[in-house]
A and B are shown apart, each in its own frame.
Chain A
């Protein structure tokens, strides 16, 4: 087990990258703590899998170094890194039985037979396949095969890290939840560093202590689920996390006030002069309907999404989504919306601006 450090790392699939656009992964410096449970979140094609393959050694980065602890493993073979990885689609060794599949990584390391048998039994119990141990892997269903892949990923106890590349794509929904819980349990039990790639925010937020959001080849934010929710570092994080995503409005900002067209909004913090495209962002959860305070609102429609209702409307600056807590009525007098000042974030050219001071 080791802390994983990425130093000046960047990767391009083009032999001689000229501009930044040629890079699938833009230059980054990150430290992944030993024993952390990370979720790597981002839309398809943002470089998640590339980053994972660089850590496991399947891809050699075009520049920068990868360190496990103090050891530079940039040029080390995958096998020498002692790392486990589970792929999006099941990979099983067809001619082997389920038992042999699970034992394969241990046998390759020359572990003794007694230990292997016990360990395989443990893992089989964990993935719920004790009955199928003697069966050939070939005829199994896709989700059974994926459980074997997961089991093979977890069977070695001494790995430096376990990487999951959207491993639950082919698994049934109820089994998904169960396996995720087990992964989490496993993490508590053994304390492996785990990196879990997904584009499903629920999966990411329930699995991980820290969520890493990637966008366009960059890590835009690395933080706890709460940080991602309250203070998204980039507008993409705002859009991507939360359902629906954050509301953004173009604004002119002076000190503690933002001007949205004709209206003025209190920001709850003071900001210096801004350049570039300036926007304020507010979560739908942090906007509330009022009888007169705040900005005039036109309601388009209200959707019931189960635990709460979702109001879609327009204010002068553009469209806005508002989450209405359960049980609140929408009276005819509620014609305005108030944005809670302490929950407003400010963005300049898509990146969050840190306030200079809290407003009194």
Chain B
């Protein structure tokens, strides 16, 4: 085979390579560098091996943060996914109110994260916040700055407020792609409302639901800005999630070595879970094509 060899094409991808190198590869390598070395300043490094990793894996501080993080992701998935499906099922399918609902639902998604945090920080304040003040005037002792349960409730309700729309909109799109004939056939077959959901709506939403769960898992597992703005990780460490803890460690205490090891493991966990999801999704697709 006389195939023309022309390596000039490589020059065309060079700009992208340079860009990616500076934006992703070099910073990542810096982190890797910190994770395996110790330094006392002046850019002098000493090989530390796996010491930081061992320290982090056995650290109870990290275990607690990871536990809180998993609990948080589990709770918001358990609330947002069923709630999103429920909202999507009850949204009007066409006409003015359909457009109205879509716009209203999309609004929270358009607000910058730190603004969401600030809104809820003020909303929940006991002295001036609409929510905090009203609850206390009603005799419910609510204070997210000194009660861990209230802090958790605030952060979770905030996330539900911010992100349920995403699940609902994805499900809504899935539901709208179901041809009317399926509902008609179900009526002919005398199917109950539950059977319609179980055998028609849920299977058709499966694809978008998996995407919704994946997105919500990744985002919630990496959450930083909103709880940081509202509670700052407090009271105590009760809402200190992984990324908040990471930032405290890295730029609060300036423990760059452990923080770097920590962030690499954090990254790997997210990568692993996303990979599992991706594999499950592609396998489902393949099964469907059989």
Q: Which residues does A use to contact B, with CB under 8 Å?
A: 53, 56-58, 77-79, 82-85, 87, 89, 91, 93-96, 104-105, 108-109, 136, 138-139, 149, 152-153
Q: Would B187 and A139 count as touching, CB distance under 8 A?
A: no
Are B195 and A108 interface neighbours, CB within 8 A? yes
Whether A91 touches B181, Cβ cut-off 8 Å, given contacts A108-B195, A138-B288, is yes
Whether a CB of chain A sits under 8 angstroms from the CB of B189 is: yes
Closest chain B residue, CB of each to CB of A163 = B188
- Chain B minimum-CB-distance residue to A83: B188
B187 nearest CB neighbor, chain A only: A78
Chain B residues with CB below 8 A from A93, complex form? 199-200, 203
Contact (Cβ within 8 A) A91 B185: yes
Q: Tell whether, in the assembled complex, residue B199 and residue A96 are in contact, meaning their CB atoms are under 8 Å apart.
A: yes
**Nearest CB to that of B188 among chain A residues?**
A85
CA distance A229 to B200 in the complex (A): 45
Q: What band does the interface of chain B fall in when counting residues whose beta carbon is under 8 Å from A? A: 10 to 19
Partner of A58, one of B184, B192, B203: B184
In the assembled complex, how far is the CB of residue B123 from the closest CB belonging to chain A, in whole angstroms? 43
Number of A-B contacts (CB under 8 A): 58
| A78 CB contact (under 8 Å) in B182, B188, B199, B289 | B188
- Complex Cα–Cα for A105 and B192 (A): 11
Known: A87-B184, A89-B181. A108 touches B200 (CB 8 A): no
In the complex, the answer to whether B203 meets A104 with C-beta atoms within 8 Å is no
Given the complex, which residues of B lie within 8 Å of A109, measured CB to CB? Answer: 190
Contacts of A56 in B (CB 8 A): 188
Does A108 contact B190, Cβ atoms closer than 8 Å? yes
Asked if B191 contacts A108 (CB within 8 A), the reply is yes
CB distance from B193 to the nearest CB of A (A): 11
Residue-wise interface mask of B (242-256) relative to A, using a CB-CB cutoff of 8 A (1 in contact, 0 not): 000000000000000
Q: Is the CB of A139 within 8 A of B288?
A: yes
Tell me whether A95 and B195 are in contact in the complex, defined as CB-CB below 8 angstroms, given that A79-B187, A138-B288 are known contacts.
no
B187, A58: Cβ atoms closer than 8 Å: yes
Smallest CB separation, B149 vs chain A (Å): 40
Most buried by B among A83, A91, A104, A136: A91
Residues of A within 8 A of B195 (CB): 104, 108
Q: Given known contacts A91-B182, A91-B185, is B191 in contact with A139 (CB within 8 Å)?
A: no
A152 close to B199 (CB less than 8 A): no
User: A85: which B residues are within 8 A, CB to CB?
Assistant: 184-185, 188
User: Are B191 and A104 closer than 8 Å at their CB atoms?
Assistant: yes
B8: CB under 8 A from chain A?
A: no
B189 touches A104 (CB 8 A): yes
Q: Does B44 make an interface contact (CB < 8 A)?
A: no
5 further A-B contacts with Cβ under 8 Å, apart from A91-B185, A104-B189, are: A82-B190, A85-B184, A96-B199, A138-B290, A139-B290
Docked Cα-Cα span, A108 to B192, in Å, equals 7
Chain B residues within an 8 Å CB radius of A79: 187, 190-191
Residues 171-206 of B at the A interface (beta carbon under 8 Å)? 179, 181-182, 184-185, 187-192, 195, 199-200, 203
What's the minimum C-beta distance from B266 to chain A, rounded to whole angstroms? 37
Q: What is the CB-to-nearest-CB distance from B226 to chain A, in angstroms, rounded to a whole number?
A: 37
The minimal Cβ–Cβ distance linking B273 to chain A, given in whole angstroms, is 26
Most chain A CB atoms below 10 A, which of B184, B191, B195: B184
Name the residue of chain B whose CB is nearest to the CB of A159. Answer: B188
For this complex, 24 residue pairs linking A to B, each with C-beta atoms less than 8 Å apart, are: A58-B187, A78-B187, A79-B191, A84-B188, A85-B185, A87-B184, A87-B185, A91-B181, A91-B184, A91-B185, A93-B199, A93-B200, A94-B203, A95-B199, A96-B199, A104-B199, A105-B189, A108-B189, A108-B190, A108-B192, A108-B195, A152-B185, A152-B189, A153-B188
Residues facing A in B105-132 (CB within 8 A) are none
Q: How far is the CB of B182 from the nearest CB of chain A, in Å? A: 6
Residue in chain B with minimal CB distance to A95: B203
Chain B hits for A149, CB < 8 A? 185
Q: With A93-B200, A139-B290 in contact, is A87–B181 under 8 Å at CB?
A: yes
A118-B203 Cα distance, complex, nearest whole Å: 28
Against A, the Cβ 8 Å flags (1 = close, 0 = not) of B71-106 are 000000000000000000000000000000000000
Chain B residues lying within 8 Å of A58, measured Cβ to Cβ, are 184, 187-188
Residue of B nearest to A108 (CB): B190
Q: Chain B's nearest CB lies how many Å from the CB of A141?
A: 13
Complex: A138 Cα to B284 Cα, angstroms: 12
Distance A245 CA – B190 CA, assembled complex (angstroms): 42
Contact of A139 among B192, B199, B203, B289 (CB under 8 A): B289
**Which residues of chain A have C-beta atoms less than 8 A from B187's C-beta?**
57-58, 77-79
A84 to B186, CA, bound (A): 11
CB distance from A267 to the nearest CB of B (A): 49
* A159 to B46 CA separation, bound complex (whole angstroms): 84
Q: Please name all residues of chain B whose beta carbon is closer than 8 Å to the beta carbon of A57 when the two chains form the complex.
A: 187
